[in-house]
Amino acid sequence: MTESQRIAERLAPLFTPQSVAIIGASSTPFKHGNVALKYLVAGGFAGAIYPVNAGGGEIEGLKAYKSVLDIPGDVDCALFLIPAAVTNATLRDCAAKGVRAVIFGSSGFAEQGTETGRAIQAEMIEIARESGIAILGPNTNGIWNASHNMSLGYNTSHGDVMKPGSVSIAAHSGALMNSIAPALREFGVSLCKYVPVGNEANVDLNDIFEYLIGDRGTRVIGLIIEGIADGPRFRALAYRAREAGKAVVALKLGKSKAGAAAAQAHASRLAGSARAYEAFLRGCGVLQVDGIESLAGACALLSNGLPRKPDGDPGLVALSTSGGGAELLADHADAAGITLAGDGAGYWPASVTEHFAKIAGSGVIRNPVDAGNLGGVPNIAELLAAIEGEKCNGPVVLFAHQLPQEARDLLVAKLLIERRVRTEAPVVCVSPGGLRESVARFYAENGVPVFRDTKTCFDVLECYTQACTEHRDHKDVAALSHATRDSVSTMLARHDALLTEIDAAKVLSAAGVAMAPSLVATSIHDATERMKGGGAWVLKCIAPEIAHKNDAGLVATNISNAEGLAQAWTAMERNLAKAGADRPRCLFLLQPMLASRAELIAGVTHEPGLGHFLVAGIGGLLAEAIGEIVMMPVTSDVRQIEQALAASRLAKMLDSLDRDGAPATRGLVATLAALQSLTLAFPDRIHSIDVNPLLVGRDHCTAVDALIELHTPNSGA
Tell me whether residue 171 is exposed, middle or buried, using C-beta atoms within 10 angstroms of its C-beta: 0 to 12, 13 to 18, 19 or more. buried
3-class DSSP assignment, residue 365: coil
Confidence band (pLDDT; 50, 70, 90) for 272? low
Question: Is there a contact between 600 and 269 (Cβ–Cβ < 8 Å)?
Answer: no
For 3-301, which CATH superfamily applies?
A: Succinyl-CoA synthetase domains (3.40.50.261)
CA 326 – CA 454 distance, rounded (Å) = 12
What pLDDT does residue 474 have?
Answer: 56
The yes-or-no answer to whether 474-516+594-717 and 520-591 have a common fold is no
Architecture of domain 317-467: 3-Layer(aba) Sandwich (3.40)
Confidence band (pLDDT; 50, 70, 90) for 255? low
Confidence band (pLDDT; 50, 70, 90) for 378? confident
Pairing of strands 317-320, 369-370: parallel
The H or E element spanning position 635 is none
Tell me whether residue 12 is exposed, middle or buried, using C-beta atoms within 10 angstroms of its C-beta: 0 to 12, 13 to 18, 19 or more. middle
Fold held by 520-591? Dna Ligase; domain 1 (3.30.1490)
What pLDDT does residue 271 have?
Answer: 41
What are the contacts of 479-488 at 24+ separation with CB within 8 A? 479/677, 479/680, 479/681, 480/511, 480/677, 480/678, 480/681, 484/510, 484/511, 485/681, 488/678, 488/681, 488/682
Q: Which of 61-75, 619-633, 634-648 has the lowest mean pLDDT?
A: 619-633
Strand partners, 688: 709
| DSSP states of 488-557 | HHHHHTT-SSEE-HHHHHHHHHHHT--B---EEESSHHHHHHHGGG-S-EEEEEE-TT-S-TTTTT-EEE
Q: Taking each helix axis from N to C terminus, what angle separates 350-357 and 380-389, rounded to the nearest 10 degrees? A: 150
Please compute the mean of the pLDDT values over residues 227-254 and round it to a whole number: 94
Q: What is the pTM of this model?
A: 0.88
Question: Is there a contact between 185 and 237 (Cβ–Cβ < 8 Å)?
Answer: no
Domain ranges of the chain: 3-301, 317-467, 474-516+594-717, 520-591
As a whole number, the mean pLDDT across the chain is 90
Pairing of strands 247-252, 317-320: unpaired
Contacts of 160 (CB under 8 A, 6+ apart): 151, 181, 191
Instruction: Please give the order of strands across the beta sheet that includes 150-153.
Output: 150-153, 142-145, 191-196, 167-171, 220-225, 247-252, 287-289
pLDDT tens across 130-150, in order? 999 999 999 999 999 999 999
What pLDDT does residue 222 have?
Answer: 98
The reply to whether CATH 3.30.470.20 applies to domain 474-516+594-717 is yes
CA 321 – CA 342 distance, rounded (Å) = 20
